[in-house]
Amino acid sequence: MKLQRYDAASSSDLKQLRLPLCARLCAVVALIAVTTNLALAQDSSPVISPDPQIAAALRQISVARIQSTIEKLVSFQTRSTLSAQDPASIASGHGIGAAREWIKSEFERYSHDCGGCLEVKLDSFTEAPGSRIPKPTEITNVYAVMKGTDQESAKRIVLVTGHYDSRNSDNLNITDLAPGANDDGSGTAVSLECARVLSQLKFPATVIFLTVAGEEQGLNGGRHFAQTAKAAGWNIEAALNNDIVGGDRSPQQDPSVVRVFSEGVPIAATDAEVRQIRSLGGENDSTSRQLARYIAEVGGTYDASVKPMLIFRLDRYLRGGDHSSFNEQGYAAVRFTEFREDYNHQHQNVRTENGIEFGDLPKFVNFDYVANVARLNAATLASLASAPAPPVKVRLLTTKLENDSTLTWEPSPGGRAASYEVLWRATTSLEWEHARGVGNVVRTTLPTSKDNVIFAVRAVDNQGHRSLAVTPLPER
């Protein structure tokens, strides 16, 4: 009886054959199997093909290097954005100025090891006084640019960031310990370790390894960097913000997952765009959500020993982070954060009260976990930097009422796409469910109603590297 639900006509035809029940059932099962196989011949689950070079690079990510980076950052005693940055303090290894100089020297060392492949830069500016900045304060972001090897693709940028400033219980305190091992020594270590390992490879697109300051005073460094990038017309395809990825060793922690937060309706969307998003059900298809889905696929392709747990929300309650500054400029950006935060170990003076230890100390950090998160970041950066540019002007034709769906697009800029892939999913599904390779074309028609699913198109190169997916706009 159950089988009749699948295909009543076939089932009743089979009844007329007066075959034994078993034979009829077997025939129906075979029919379903054939139909399914036909579907599978064309469509598959979306998958990012593994690249042996990327897999080998991930094995170079070192727990010991991560640990020594975090311990070094903690050794500056405080990295409050308001703390000392005069030459004497830098020389004595105390305060944010000393941390800044050390990060710069690390990037320079990695660059030396790759024959000068990194351009190490400072982005300095003076922040005017505000509620958490009592006097004009110089804030400096430190970053390394690994320029892409392909002239056209080098204009595309993928970026990883963490904030190297820290704080204790009092955000204006600049003298007491503010170790910031997890918040955000861990994210800074991810950015540095990605730079150390990925600088041994070459990519067509540009990768930027960023560490920012001023996060605890009001996201000042990240905001300045994102605004400067936008003003300069930088094409940042993806910004990966790592903030609190230390995997705090509390018993309730789940070290097998890392949360990946992404905004829904883009904060940078215009009123007209928001109206369109609302009318088409595009609330789950911001570019940041496509980036989050891409990270989920990368997590399935490469064994980072930590799985991305997608959270479809900009950030946690009552909290903010540097990815939002990139979102404000219209860039796709997500935030990585450990599964469970221990608030005794963040933004706290180092102390013991009633037998409870407070403070953001290295002993609470799980360095293996940070290394796993670094692997997931590096795999995502390397996959995107290897991939062709996403197709542009992706459109879904809506000139007339029809049950087929026709998609058109313009080729992936840069000429590196060998073919294209159409993805789709049910409107109630959060991750792509189907993929169909359509060859090196700029138009395709699928026998699936656009009213019932969400489509996207992505570019594929001749080695199987996939671009970010682009959802279509309707075109009449």
> In the complex, which residues of this chain contact Zn ion (CB under 5 A)?
183-184, 243
Residue pair 166/222 in contact (Cβ under 8 Å)? The answer is no
CB of 117 to Zn ion, least distance (A): 29
C-alpha triplet 373, 376, 378: angle, nearest 5°: 105
What is the C-alpha separation between 247 and 380, in angstroms, rounded? 20
Minimum CB distance to Zn ion smaller for 204 or for 214: 214
Alpha-carbon Rg for the chain, nearest whole angstrom, is 25
- Phi, psi angle pair for 352, to nearest 5°: -125, 130
Minimum CB distance to Zn ion smaller for 159 or for 205: 159
Minimum CB distance to Zn ion smaller for 215 or for 237: 215
Tokens linked to 288: 């940041």
CB of 140 to Zn ion, least distance (A): 17
| CB-based burial, 41-52: b 16+ in 10 Å, e otherwise | eebeebebeebe
CB of 80 to Zn ion, least distance (A): 13
Minimum CB distance to Zn ion smaller for 106 or for 183: 183
Amino acid letter at 357?
Answer: E
Minimum CB distance to Zn ion smaller for 187 or for 411: 187
CB of 8 to Zn ion, least distance (A): 59
Count Cα atoms within 13 angstroms, Cβ side, for 413: 11
CB of 215 to Zn ion, least distance (A): 6
Is the N-terminal amide bond of 285 cis, ω within 30° of 0?
no
What is the C-alpha separation between 474 and 79, in angstroms, rounded? 49
CB of 247 to Zn ion, least distance (A): 15
CB of 147 to Zn ion, least distance (A): 29
Question: 187-198 vs 63-74: helix axis angle to the nearest 10?
Answer: 130
Minimum CB distance to Zn ion smaller for 237 or for 243: 243
Minimum CB distance to Zn ion smaller for 50 or for 218: 218
